[in-house]
């Protein structure tokens, strides 16, 4: 139960590019909340300045210091102050450090008030034109350890699959996914969503790889959306899993 004297943790989405995408409710909560936990104080200060929101107490909370800061922020809320959690962009808790603070607040009996708003995940899924009735969100693939296993596990995935990716790794990821899921697997790359250079390419993994590997410079933020396996591919996936030693423990067959 939420203690009567506790503050509240507001989870406040902010734009993923276009500042017009902030909601009226997000602006009100940011204006009314005394403390804001954010990733980069410079990014959040800029956002507050843009919307003429008076100076706030900002607490930096990012991947490097989250363990130490969680207890501090939870203590602030338990002492009766409301805290708004924001990320640099998008919805806190979607592939960013927000998850840990939200879990700790719930554990401490604090009321968590989530605001709906911008996220690259939902924006890309709807832009892709691929089925949205069932979606598997993979976030960022592991860079090294576990990467092969993570990709192999997706061979039989029938839901539309969504990946976040960096400009440095997008070509490598397209190659590896094309090798395992098939060159002809339909996919969409959503780059710089809501920004000036927004680009949405709907094609196949093989063709997208050919396109991006031929580019001189790759910049921006990416979401890759891949169509799930058809029934025939599911069979191939079962075979693939059996020949993968890494997969033995996960197979359950």
Nearer CB in complex with ligand SAM: 11/77: 11
User: Residues 208, 209, 210, CA angle at the centre, nearest 5°?
Assistant: 90
How many Å apart are CA 19 and CA 74, to the nearest integer? 29
Nearer CB in complex with ligand SAM: 83/225: 225
CB closest to ligand SAM, residue no: 90
Least distance to ligand SAM from the beta carbon of 122, Å? 8
Q: Cα-flanking dihedrals φ and ψ of residue 192, to 5°?
A: 55, 45
Least distance to ligand SAM from the beta carbon of 199, Å? 9
Least distance to ligand SAM from the beta carbon of 192, Å? 5
Per CB under 6 A, residues contacting ligand SAM are 16-17, 87, 89-91, 94-96, 119-121, 164-166, 190, 192-195, 221-223
Nearer CB in complex with ligand SAM: 76/193: 193
Nearer CB in complex with ligand SAM: 6/87: 87
Least distance to ligand SAM from the beta carbon of 222, Å? 5
Element (H, E) at 222: strand 222-226
**128 within 8 A of 225, measured Cβ to Cβ:** yes
Nearer CB in complex with ligand SAM: 53/193: 193
- Identify the three-state secondary structure at position 5: coil
Element (H, E) at 66: helix 66-78
How many Å apart are CA 167 and CA 124, to the nearest integer? 16
Nearer CB in complex with ligand SAM: 88/183: 88
Least distance to ligand SAM from the beta carbon of 97, Å? 9
Least distance to ligand SAM from the beta carbon of 109, Å? 25
Could you tell me which of 101, 228, 232, 212 has the C-alpha nearest to residue 165? 212
- Identify the three-state secondary structure at position 111: strand
């Amino acid at each position: 139960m939420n203690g009567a004297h506790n503050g509240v943790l507001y989870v406040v989405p902010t734009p993923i590019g276009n500042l017009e995408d902030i909601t009226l409710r997000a602006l009100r909560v940011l204006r009314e909340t005394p403390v804001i936990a954010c990733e980069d104080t410079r990014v959040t200060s800029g956002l507050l300045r843009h919307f003429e929101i008076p100076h706030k107490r900002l607490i930096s909370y990012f991947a490097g210091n989250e363990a130490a800061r969680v207890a501090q922020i939870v203590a602030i809320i338990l002492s009766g102050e409301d805290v708004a959690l924001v990320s640099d962009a998008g919805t806190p808790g979607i592939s960013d450090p927000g998850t840990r603070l939200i879990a700790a607040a719930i554990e401490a009996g604090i009321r968590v008030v989530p605001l709906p708003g911008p996220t690259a995940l939902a924006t890309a899924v709807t832009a892709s034109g691929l089925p949205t009735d069932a979606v598997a969100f993979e976030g960022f693939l592991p860079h090294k350890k576990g990467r092969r296993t993570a990709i192999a596990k997706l061979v039989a995935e029938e839901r539309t699959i969504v990946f976040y990716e960096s400009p440095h790794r997008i070509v490598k990821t397209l190659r590896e996914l094309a090798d395992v899921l098939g060159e002809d697997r339909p996919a969409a790359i959503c780059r710089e969503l809501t920004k000036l250079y927004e680009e949405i390419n709907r094609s196949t993994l093989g063709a997208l790889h050919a396109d991006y590997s031929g580019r001189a410079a790759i910049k921006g933020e990416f979401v890759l959306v891949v169509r799930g396996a058809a029934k025939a591919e599911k069979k191939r996936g079962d075979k693939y899993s059996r020949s993968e030693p890494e997969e033995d423990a996960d197979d359950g067959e």
